[in-house]
Amino acid sequence: MEITKRGTVIKVEGTQPKTGEKAPHFTLNNLSDKKINLADYQGKVVLVSVVPNIDTSVCAIQTKHFNQEAGQLENVQLITISNNTKEEQADWCAGNGVEMEMLHDTDLEFAKAYGVYMPELGLLARSVFVIDQDGVLVYEEIVPEMSHEPDYTAALAATKALI
């Protein structure tokens, strides 16, 4: 798969999961160094927001938007994932007054399982995944232009349809 970064073609490595399939398993650490498994949220709707670099403006906008919207929904677990370090993520959260489940994928486990790694940039592709209460992927978007925001309306509609 390919996306663009301000018009330049960037290769995204791997195979992306398809809607209707069981969501690929992952285990990542959160900001408290607790291991978080996708299976921990069985029975809940999970909205996974993936950002290339939490310290950039579009990633900050995406993270804040989903935190404000999805963070208010009952029985929905919002997770933001990037391959920033724990320290970078913690500093961003503290500096922006945001408390949320933020996972760091420095070993690229999630990136490889979901096919969102861009080796040329060493970053994860901007993407959104919605997983139902049974662990099935019901929505996925890999944003075709890295500098653009995801389709919040579609992702939130898919999320709300499950609750």
Catalytic residues: 59
Contact status, residue 14 vs residue 112, Cβ threshold 8 Å: yes
Contact status, residue 154 vs residue 65, Cβ threshold 8 Å: no
Q: Angle, nearest 10°, between helix axes 57-70 and 86-96?
A: 70
Q: In whole angstroms, what is the distance from residue 16 CA to residue 8 CA?
A: 21
Instruction: Give a three-class secondary structure readout of 90-124.
Output: HHHHHHHCCCCEEEECCCCHHHHHHCCEECCCCEE
